[in-house]
Amino acid sequence: MNDNFIRTVTECLEEMQGLDLLPATCEGLLKLAPAEWKILQAYPSSPNLAKVASSTGLPYSTVVDVTRRLRERGITVHYVPKLDKLGITPLLVVVEGDLPPQTPAYTVYRGEGIGKRKYTVLHALLPDRLIHDYLSLLPREPSIEVRGLEVKYWDPRGRLTKYDAGRGIVVPDESSLEEVILSCSRPPSLEERKWVDWLDLLIISLKMRNAYAKLSSIVKSLGPGGQTPSRQLLSYHYRMHVAPLWRANSIRYELPESCPRKLYLLEGKACAAAAHSLVEAPYFHEAVVGEGVAGVLSQHPCVLEVLVYKTAYIASVVLASDVDVEEIILTGFTRFEWLTPELLARYREHGTWPPPSELPGQPRP
C-alpha cells in the first residue's frame, strides 16, 4: 500500500477519534422541510410526478408545488438513461494544464482545478468507437483516462444518507459503511444495446434537462413547420422507446461557494466499491467507475473530507486491495447540454452518432 496513502489515512483516522462527523451548524448543508425530504426521496424511482404523489401519499398538487419551489432553489431532477442500451460509454479524462475554451461535443461537464498539478477535467458520454476521435481533439494525452462501465448518482435513499428532522438537514450516516462497501464490490450487469431514432433522443434530451418536463415543450421549442412531430407521435415514442430506456432520475443541487467542488480520483482493484459507497452518502454527487480507476464528483462541507479517506481505507482492508486517492479542487466548473441541436440534426440525417470532429465549433489540437 502506498506510504503516503497510509500516512494520510492514519492521520485522518486519528483526527476522527471521538469526532462527530455531523456539522455543528447547518451552514452549507442541504436544508429541507419534512415534506420536501419525503418528495426528494421519491424522485429517483419516479418517472413522473403522479408516481411521486402515489409513493409519498401526498396530494398531486402538493408534489407539483414543492417540485416547483425546489427547482427555484436550484434542486433539480434529471432523467438518467440506460447508457449500455444506448451503446454509450462514460468517459472521464484528466489533462494536465489548461485546455482551449472550446469543449468537444458529447461533453457533459468540464472543470479546471488544482491537485498535485493544475488540471482540466472533462466528462463525456459517447459511443466507444468515437472515443479516439474525441481524444484527438485534445492538445495533449490525458494523465488519467476512465472509460466507465457505469455512472452512479447519489440517491437520497442511500444507505449512508439520513435526514436530521430536528435540524431539517441531510447528513451522512456511517453506521453501515463496511457493509455497504462489501455489497458494492459486485460488477455491474449490462443490457444489450438497442438502436434509437432521433425522436427518442430528442425526448431524452428534454428529460435529461428536466425529468418532469412536458412533451408539449418539445413542440413549442421546435416552432411551426412541416417537420414538427405531433404530440401523439412524441407520446408514442416516449411510452414505447424512451420509458424502457429510463434507469432512474438524478438530483442536482448547489452548495455555497464555501464548499468547493472536488473530484476524487480513486485507483486500485477496490476503487469501484469505494466509489459506489461514497455516492451513497450525501454531497457526493456522481461517480464514473471503470476498471481499476474511478472519479467521484463532490461538493461537501470540510468536516466530511475524512469520509473519503476512511471509505478508501476500509475498502482496501475488507477487499484486500489498495485504493489510492488523489483530490482535485475544482476552481471552475461548467455543465453542457449532452444532446445538442447540431448532434440531433446529424443523428436525424444519418441515423447514427456523428464523430465529434465533424460537428461545428469543435476545438482543434
pTM: 0.91
Kindly indicate the confidence band of residue 221, based on its pLDDT and cuts at 50, 70 and 90: low
Which pLDDT value is given to residue 138? 96
CB 282 within 8 A of CB 172: yes
pLDDT above 70 covers a percentage of the chain that reads 90
Contact assessment for residue 252 and residue 155, using Cβ atoms and an 8 Å cutoff = no
| 8 Å CB contact between 108 and 125 | yes
Tell me what the mean pLDDT of segment 144-166 comes to: 96
Residue spans of the domains in the chain: they are: 1-29+89-189+259-357
Write the pLDDT tens digit of every residue in 67-91. 999 999 999 999 999 999 999 999 9
356 and 104 Cβ atoms separated by less than 8 Å: yes
Average pLDDT, the chain: 90
Q: Check residue 222 and give its pLDDT.
A: 64
C-alpha cell at 331: 476552481
Using one digit for the tens of pLDDT, what is the confidence trace for 1-55? 455 544 554 555 554 444 445 555 566 789 999 999 999 999 999 999 999 999 9
Please report the pLDDT score of residue 187 as a whole number: 74
Q: What is the pLDDT of residue 230?
A: 85
Per the DSSP assignment, residues forming a β-bridge with 265 are 295, 326
